[in-house]
Structure 1
Amino acid sequence: MKKLRKYTEKPIIGPLVKIFINIAINRQANQISKHFTEYLSATVATNQNYKSESFKIRHKVYCEELKFEKLQPTNEEFDEFDTRAVHCLIKHKPTGDFAGTVRVVTSQNPKQMLPIEKFCLGVIHEKSVHPSDFPREEVCEISRLAIPKKFRKRATDKFNGSATGSINEYNYSEKELRCFPLIAIGLYLCAASVCLNIGIKHCFVMMEPRLARSLKFVGIVFTKVGPVVEYHGKRAPYYINRELLLSGLTPGFKSILSVIEQEVSNQFNTK
């Protein structure tokens, strides 16, 4: 009788475990999404004022703090690629301050090179994917991710902090702290939402390998296509496409992508 009971009960345990696992996953996904939407929102720089905010953040990080670029009298950092880039910002809702920025550089023809093609072309492995492998209107480069110092953990965290979104924990509540590690991820998801809106399918980026590893934990899986070189710090070239992004994201961050994508779509529709 005991053997029979074990045999008949076994098929019931499997589905129950799956149900509890799914409940736990969905609960965690909802918590992650709630933390993001409660404190942060995605903004596309659809006007010059927003673009100026982006350029000011970049100047503070890239020119004043890291000294990667020269100081500008306007206190705004921009270059030749910005005229054909879509600029993204993450806003901290309680203060109204912008917590970070990133840009999506587009290209319509081979003469409009991406930054990675102009400055780091030889870094991409010969047998790896290359921007020239795809229609120009379907490729982009995500670059100039910058997060202001006050949203980072320690003054000594300099470049590392600007990439990962660590913040000064003494300025914010414990509840808010749970959300701030999402700033860098939110910026990449905002850039991804822009790509989905304008038909970009293939994306390249020069980033720190440790940031690539961090993004991998949440399912944003970039493919490394070249070695680490000195380019605004130790960085390597990476590639991702639409299918890799959508298939890799964990449930919580899929939920955030859905929220950000809706915000971005609304802003594109009201341009």
Structure 2
Amino acid sequence: MQKGKLVQKVQNIFGANSRVTKALKGYQKLQEVKEISHHFSTYLAPKIAHSDALKNESYKMRYQVYCIEEGFEPPNDLEIETDEFDAYSSCCLIEHIQNQRFAGTVRLVRPQAKDQLLPIEKYCSNSITHNALAPRNFPRHEICEISRLAVPNEFRRRQMDKFDGAAIGAINTDSYSETELRCFPFIAIGLYLAAAAVSINSGVKHNYVMMEPRLARSMRFIGIRFEQIGPIVDYHGKRAAYHITPEMLHRNLPKGFSIMYENIRQTLKSQENFSSLPLD
């Protein structure tokens, strides 16, 4: 019997609000998340961009999304997208294992010196109205900003789900198997979990991000609960400032996605220099 039909039959017998029905739905959801985590680790692998070659792959993906597809930044002859913050940032990528093509990237801006700002401080300082959680209140090495999340067009699934200018959209169904497609909607989640693993390992205590509220709601659905710390503003679309700590991440992440996070963390941990993550 198919899972959906089983749930419907149990619901018809015991009622939608019965403990049996709720328990079955909860179990089914956990199994689905475990399956997604398994598919993710089977087909996709997170990487830290230690080399110039890997950093360039990240910059090229960002160019495709931010300059060509979304038009947030102007095109250039080098066909890479970089800015002043990359000088003190770490990049994560997700690689499609079978064809060794990259399926997404995200960066962590990690200031160390007093004059090194987060992008949110330079361009959107007025968007933070929760003064107690403003980045200026904390030592530079304890803060970071998750930014420049980009997923190439071929790895996007539904055009209606274009979050943050780089989330999940249309996918080339001729290039990948039906089984592989099941994990692609979670590439953005995998990027956030990779960023979390890097920031936690680096001793960061406060993570910031400018994102669309609907992306924040999507993250909340799977247990990544960003706290909104300011109103919605017009910055490459309607966005708001959000904050999250490692404690908030661990406290709210469901068991199924905790498995996915731990798999990502262990994969990154096995890579060279994960403990130091040198900055340029």
TM-score, length-scaled by structure 2: 0.84
- Cα distance change, pair 152–26 in 1 and its aligned pair in 2 (3 A): closer
Percent same amino acid among aligned pairs? 46
Report what 2:169 is aligned to: 166
The answer as to whether partners of 1:43 and 1:88 remain within 8 angstroms in 2 is yes
Q: Does 1:65 align with 2:69?
A: yes
Distance in 2 (CA, whole Å) between partners of 1:159 and 1:80 is 26
Q: Which segments of structure 1 move beyond 4 Å, counting only runs of 4 or more? A: 16-26, 156-159
Q: What displacement does 1:111 show? A: 1.2
Report what 1:231 is aligned to: 235
Bigger share in helix? 1
Distance in 2 (CA, whole Å) between partners of 1:34 and 1:132 is 40
Q: Does 1:132 align with 2:136?
A: yes
Distance in 2 (CA, whole Å) between partners of 1:73 and 1:244 is 42
The answer as to whether partners of 2:70 and 2:165 remain within 8 angstroms in 1 is no
Aligned partner of 1:180 among 181, 184, 202: 184
- Cα distance change, pair 161–136 in 1 and its aligned pair in 2 (3 A): closer
The equivalences for 1:33-44 within 5 A come to: 33-44=37-48
Q: Which structure 2 residue ranges, 5 or more long, are not aligned?
A: 1-19
Q: What displacement does 1:53 show? A: 0.2
Greater Rg over alpha carbons, structure: 1
> What amino acid sits opposite 2:84 in the alignment?
E
Distance in 1 (CA, whole Å) between partners of 2:101 and 2:136 is 38
> What amino acid sits opposite 1:238 in the alignment?
Y
The answer as to whether partners of 2:92 and 2:107 remain within 8 angstroms in 1 is yes
TM-score, length-scaled by structure 1: 0.86
Q: Does 1:31 align with 2:35?
A: yes
Distance in 2 (CA, whole Å) between partners of 1:56 and 1:163 is 13
- Cα distance change, pair 150–28 in 1 and its aligned pair in 2 (3 A): closer
The equivalences for 1:1-271 within 5 A come to: 27-153=31-157, 159-160=162-163, 162-168=165-171, 170-171=173-174, 172-269=176-273
Distance in 1 (CA, whole Å) between partners of 2:226 and 2:32 is 24
Deviations 1:150-209 (A, max 9, x none): 11235x659548443234162333211210111000000010011122111110000011
> What amino acid sits opposite 1:148 in the alignment?
P
How many pairs were matched up? 256
The answer as to whether partners of 2:213 and 2:240 remain within 8 angstroms in 1 is yes
Distance in 1 (CA, whole Å) between partners of 2:272 and 2:110 is 16
- Cα distance change, pair 65–110 in 1 and its aligned pair in 2 (3 A): same
> What amino acid sits opposite 1:197 in the alignment?
N
Q: What displacement does 1:18 show? A: 11
Distance in 1 (CA, whole Å) between partners of 2:127 and 2:215 is 19
Per the alignment, in what secondary structure is the counterpart of residue 149 of structure 1?
Answer: coil
Per the alignment, in what secondary structure is the counterpart of residue 81 of structure 1?
Answer: helix
Distance in 2 (CA, whole Å) between partners of 1:126 and 1:23 is 38
Per the alignment, in what secondary structure is the counterpart of residue 133 of structure 2?
Answer: coil
Distance in 2 (CA, whole Å) between partners of 1:59 and 1:152 is 16
The answer as to whether partners of 2:65 and 2:166 remain within 8 angstroms in 1 is no
The answer as to whether partners of 1:88 and 1:191 remain within 8 angstroms in 2 is yes
Report what 1:5 is aligned to: none
Per the alignment, in what secondary structure is the counterpart of residue 164 of structure 1?
Answer: coil
- Cα distance change, pair 215–22 in 1 and its aligned pair in 2 (3 A): closer
The answer as to whether partners of 1:152 and 1:162 remain within 8 angstroms in 2 is no
> What amino acid sits opposite 1:165 in the alignment?
I
Over the aligned positions, Cα root-mean-square deviation in angstroms equals 2.5
